[in-house]
Amino acid sequence: MNDQPNSNENDAKDPRVARREKMRQIEELGLDPWGSRFDDRSMISECQTRQPEIQWVQEDGEAIALPDLTAEGFDFRQWKSEHGPGEQTGPTVRVAGRIMLSRDKGKLIFLTLRDWTGEIQIFVGKNQVGDDGFAIAKLFDLGDLVAAEGRLGKTNTGELTVFATKVFFHAKMLEPAPDKHAGLTNTDMRQRMRYADLAFNDGVMQTFLDRTKIVKSIRHTMDEDGFCEVEGPTLHTVAGGAAARPFAEGKLICVFGCGGDRDRGKRPQMAAIAARLADRVVVTSDNPRTEDPLRILEDVVKGIPDGVDRVVEPDRGAAIAQTIAEADAADLVLVAGKGHEDYQILGTEKVHFDDREEAQQALRRRLQP
């Protein structure tokens, strides 16, 4: 059986493959692919408050404060010409964040970094960061966590910018970034991948920052009035919806699968968890994508210990139908994995498939006299 889930042609088109290749190249450059310490960083909001420190220093040493470069119709080039030869000076800062925008201009790269306090532009020039630094910057992708050190200044258009003399790699985002205009739109994915929701959806970070302030204010007020905060249990054995086991009067049967073109090492781990918590495990397909579904199932089954009641059925519809048909009245069937998704990804195509519809049809057939 071919160990490669994708053909060379598919690999060339898959952005995930390209990102992993860049991470491999970063490692070959001698960098830790998981990043390293980055001390003495400034938050981006702090850099924005230091704009008055940016000055124009003339040849005779006289320092002139910069005018408002964002004023309508202002021409910074003309202003510099009128004030004679000189150079722009500013404080040296160290900033870190996630790449939200990247523009490659050959020997120049413009990055927009975002941290939880704001955004700032990074100017990366080959002459400024050197060949090694520029080689690293060429391997950056949207969504990567990176850092830069350099002079804080402004471009001719008035945009606050860090003119980098050093760049640092912290972590690569191996999944493609969501559409820059639409962001992450799937409601279920936003809940399950809150980190992506915070990173790529406008306004979400501010909502959570505001929530933190509100909760902090309430706690402070209640504390000042002599109240005591007591934590209640979140996961408990009483039938409250957090765990499936309390709802199963008979056996707990778990129907689940693992996605294709994803981390193969997690498949047996997920199977081991299901086998430990359920009385019967039904392994089936779940978005096989371009992988062979049978190979995915082989990876999953490796994690199920001998002696565990298990069923392997590649057809997800058949697995759901068969499990519901054979379950006793007191059994609980948990169909896990797809959430609100109403499709299966076969190859590169989305095919309509809804776990809820399949389960409802199976229940109707079971209840027919």
Tell me which amino acid residue 290 is. Answer: T
Cα distance between residue 125 and residue 103, in whole Å? 12
Question: Band of the pLDDT at 182, cuts 50, 70, 90?
Answer: low
Q: Which of 147, 116, 99, 103 is nearest to 44 (CA)?
A: 116
- What value does the mean pLDDT take over residues 40-59? 94
**According to the model, what pLDDT value does residue 192 have?**
77
**How many Å is the Cα radius of gyration of the chain?**
28
For residue 9, pLDDT beyond 50: yes
Cα distance between residue 193 and residue 243, in whole Å? 20
Each residue's pLDDT tens digit, 115-146: 999 999 999 999 999 999 999 999 999 999 99
- What value does the mean pLDDT take over residues 307-329? 96
Q: Which of 180, 176, 167 is nearest to 18 (CA)?
A: 176
Which one has a higher pLDDT value, 367 or 127? 127
**According to the model, what pLDDT value does residue 60 have?**
85
For residue 297, pLDDT beyond 60: yes
Question: Band of the pLDDT at 61, cuts 50, 70, 90?
Answer: confident
Cα distance between residue 135 and residue 109, in whole Å? 11
Q: What is the DSSP letter of 346?
A: E
Would you give the distance in Å from CA 121 to the centre of its chain? 21
Inter-residue contact 300 to 313 (CB < 8 Å) = no
Each residue's pLDDT tens digit, 185-237: 888 778 778 888 888 888 899 999 999 999 999 999 999 999 998 877 665 55
Q: Which of 1, 24, 14, 23 is nearest to 262 (CA)?
A: 14
Scanning the structure block, which residue is given the tokens 């088109």? 13
Return the exposure string of 192-206: e unless at least 16 CB atoms fall within 10 Å of the residue's CB, then b.
Answer: ebeebbbbbbeebbe
- CB-based contacts of 353: which residues, under 8 Å, 6+ apart? 316, 317, 342, 343, 344
**According to the model, what pLDDT value does residue 4 have?**
46
Q: To which H or E segment does residue 131 belong?
A: helix 126-137
Scanning the structure block, which residue is given the tokens 């910069």? 66
Q: What is the DSSP letter of 289?
A: B
Question: Band of the pLDDT at 11, cuts 50, 70, 90?
Answer: low
Domain 8-54+90-171, CATH class in plain words: mainly beta
Cα distance between residue 127 and residue 177, in whole Å? 29
Bridge partner list, 93? 150
Q: What is the DSSP letter of 106?
A: S
Beta-strand relationship, 309-312 and 280-283: parallel
Scanning the structure block, which residue is given the tokens 């910018």? 161
For residue 320, pLDDT beyond 70: yes
- What value does the mean pLDDT take over residues 146-163? 94
- CB-based contacts of 100: which residues, under 8 Å, 6+ apart? 112, 113, 114, 119, 142, 180
Q: Where are the domains of the chain?
A: 8-54+90-171, 248-367
Each residue's pLDDT tens digit, 223-244: 999 999 887 766 555 545 457 8
Q: Which of 263, 281, 261, 262 is nearest to 271 (CA)?
A: 281
Cα distances (angstroms) measured from residue 78 to each of 53, 62, 156, 208: 21, 19, 10, 44
Inter-residue contact 63 to 17 (CB < 8 Å) = no
For residue 1, pLDDT beyond 70: no
Percent above pLDDT 90 for the chain: 68
What topology does CATH give the domain 248-367? Protein-Tyrosine Phosphatase; Chain A (3.90.190)
Q: Please tell me whether the overall predicted TM-score, pTM, comes out greater than 0.75 for this model.
A: no
**According to the model, what pLDDT value does residue 10 have?**
55
Report the mean per-residue pLDDT for the chain. Answer: 89
Per-residue tokens: 143: 């969504």
Q: Is 239 exposed, middle or buried (0-12, 13-18, 19+ CB in 10 A)?
A: exposed
Scanning the structure block, which residue is given the tokens 């776990």? 355
Each residue's pLDDT tens digit, 63-87: 988 888 777 888 888 888 888 889 9
Beta-strand relationship, 160-171 and 118-125: parallel
- What value does the mean pLDDT take over residues 161-181? 89
Percent above pLDDT 70 for the chain: 93
- What value does the mean pLDDT take over residues 298-313? 96
Each residue's pLDDT tens digit, 98-122: 999 999 999 999 999 999 999 999 9
